[in-house]
Amino acid sequence: MDGIKGAKLKISSDGHEFYWIVEPSSLRLLQVRATSTVYGTTVTDLSDWRQVGGIRIAFKRHSVDNSRTTDITLSEAEVNPTVDAKLFQPPTQQITDNFTFRVLQEESVPYVVQSGGGVSTNCQITGTTTTTRRLPVET
């Protein structure tokens, strides 16, 4: 947080706790700490705030979640961009209830499915598993 001191705001709701660290002079959100019994704790630092279309946006976000770190840096942002209305029109051609796809790459890895959904690392292969799924299509 670049040595900036902030005020801490605690928010609790349905088994989740959020702590917001807010810079008092500018009211910029500097850090969000979210804790839940399901997902554990995630800490996100927000920085490089810029004015875009009348609002301030954090162009840099650094998150730590359990053993994973994620960095997001925005190169540009646009508020209320013009969106082509054609993107939201239904398709004009007839929709069929089946399709064909081509496998571009295949890799086989031997494993044995154990009861309870686990995967055995034993290299002895026994049994087979077949899965068929028909995709629903609206007409």
**Whether the Cβ atoms of residue 54 and residue 79 lie closer than 8 Å to each other:** yes
pLDDT band at 139 (very low <50, low <70, confident <90, very high): very low
In tens, the pLDDT along 11-59 reads 888 878 899 999 988 889 999 999 887 778 899 999 999 999 999 999 9
Q: How far is CA 32 from CA 10, 24, 37, 63, 116, in A?
A: 10, 15, 17, 9, 37
CA 91 → CA 88, 94, 95, distances in Å?
9, 8, 8
For residues 6-29, one letter each, b for 16 or more C-beta atoms within 10 angstroms of the residue's C-beta and e for the rest, the string is beeeeeeeeeeeebbbeeeeeebb
Backbone dihedral angles phi then psi of residue 58, each to the nearest 5 degrees:
-80, 115
Please write the tens of the pLDDT for every residue from 64-108: 988 789 999 999 999 998 999 988 988 888 777 777 777 777 776
Indicate if the pLDDT at residue 134 is higher than 90.
Answer: no
Q: Give every CB contact of residue 53 below 8 A, 6+ residues apart in sequence.
A: 78, 79, 80
Nearest Cα to Cα of residue 7 among 25, 16, 17, 18:
25
Other C-beta atoms lying within 10 Å of the C-beta of residue 60: 13
- The strand pair at 68-73 and 7-13 is best described as unpaired
Mean pLDDT across the chain: 78
Say how many CA atoms lie within 13 Å of 74 toward its Cβ.
15
